[in-house]
Amino acid sequence: MHEVRSINVGLLELQKFGFGVEALLPKDRTGMEGSRYNLRRGETEVGLDDLRGLLPAVREAGQRGLKVTRFKGLGEMNAEELRETTLDPEKRTLVQISMEDVGAADEMFRVLMGDKVEPRREFIEKHALEVKNLDV
């Protein structure tokens, strides 16, 4: 039932832009050349036969020329990347944190910096929605 409501909401959004459900369906187009819809970005144009291909086409256009890398920890970065992202005084922000309870501070440090992944994951999952400043 929830899926039907979600689909109906999506179709209403499409109607705001002048498209109906038929825009999502492939259409036999005998005798017609070219694509039914065109996505343009600068000089680049991508043809779409139906709107189902719009999101992947936009995503692909946005990623063109980008290189995505992921590091699990600072120790996995090479020296240049570490300097650029973390050590450069012009780009870094240092925040002083203090805790009155030495035992609680030690426990927090153990959870967040320790070798065990599970307690850290649990902490992140528990407090993720409380984040105020996130440096990505």
2, pLDDT greater than 70: no
Which residues, 6+ apart, have CB-to-CB distance to 123 below 8 Å? 111, 112
Residues 72-129 have pLDDT tens digits of 677 788 888 888 878 888 888 888 888 899 999 999 999 998 999 999 999 999 998 8
Residues 28-64 have pLDDT tens digits of 766 667 788 888 888 888 888 888 888 888 888 877 7
Please state the pTM of the whole predicted model. 0.40
Q: Report the amino acid identity of residue 136.
A: V
Domain boundaries, the chain: 25-68, 78-130
Do residues 86 and 92 lie in contact, with contact meaning Cβ atoms separated by under 8 Å? yes
CA distances from 95 to 28, 108, 116, 119, 124 (A): 61, 16, 25, 23, 19
